[in-house]
Amino acid sequence: MQPTDRKLIERYVQGDRTAFNDLIRTYGPSVLGFLRRVCHNLDDADDCFQETFRRVHEKAHTIQGDTFKPWLFRVATNVAMDRFRRQKRERAVALDCELASPEALSPLETAVDASASPENEVIQDEQVRQVRQAVASLPERQRTTLVLAYYQKLSYTQVAEVLGCSVGTVKQQMFRALKALAVKLPNPSNA
């Protein structure tokens, strides 16, 4: 945990409500981006975001050591997994996936030159759609591992902590996710 994170948590636990707002301002965008990639649906991601910070509010006093960011993403992951399980039980899985907002794009999805022609913009939009669709089609565990490691830039050790598994399992899930993406995404050299 950054010294500022530790101080913010301590201040919040001691009753300083502005410290919680500072935590949301600091980590909110990356948590929301993570949830939008994992959840397929913007409304679900927004609901999970609110539930994540509700749980952080309730459990802030339990945070120990230097582990705030991995702990926060573990909470967000658990909230998203709970939602997936509930939707599965209710058989209320949506048939269409709502795409994340443009500001939530990754460098992988925005690699085309900004001064591109309209034709190139159409190609870029199609590539972004294909990447999102391929990531969304990954099994839940692989998708979550990939999003935490690639998009949220957590180390494999931190991803393992978030998911409650070994670093070897994280590496295995990443390998499988990348292998599946290589099959699902078109090869640019063949285009």
Indicate the CATH number of 105-186 among 1.20.1250.20, 3.40.50.720, 1.10.10.10, 3.10.129.10: 1.10.10.10
Does 161 score more than 70 pLDDT?
A: yes
pLDDT at 88: 65
Q: Is the Cβ–Cβ distance between 136 and 113 less than 8 Å?
A: no
**Spans of all domains in the chain:** 1-100, 105-186
Q: pLDDT-based confidence at 105, cuts 50/70/90?
A: very low
- Classify 107 as helix, strand or coil: coil
Output the average pLDDT for the chain: 78
Q: Which CATH architecture has domain 1-100?
A: Orthogonal Bundle (1.10)
Tokens of 151: 């998009």
Closest CA to 162 of 106, 80, 44: 80
pTM of the model: 0.61
Q: Is the Cβ–Cβ distance between 135 and 143 less than 8 Å?
A: yes
Percent of the chain with pLDDT over 70: 78
Q: Is the Cβ–Cβ distance between 149 and 165 less than 8 Å?
A: no
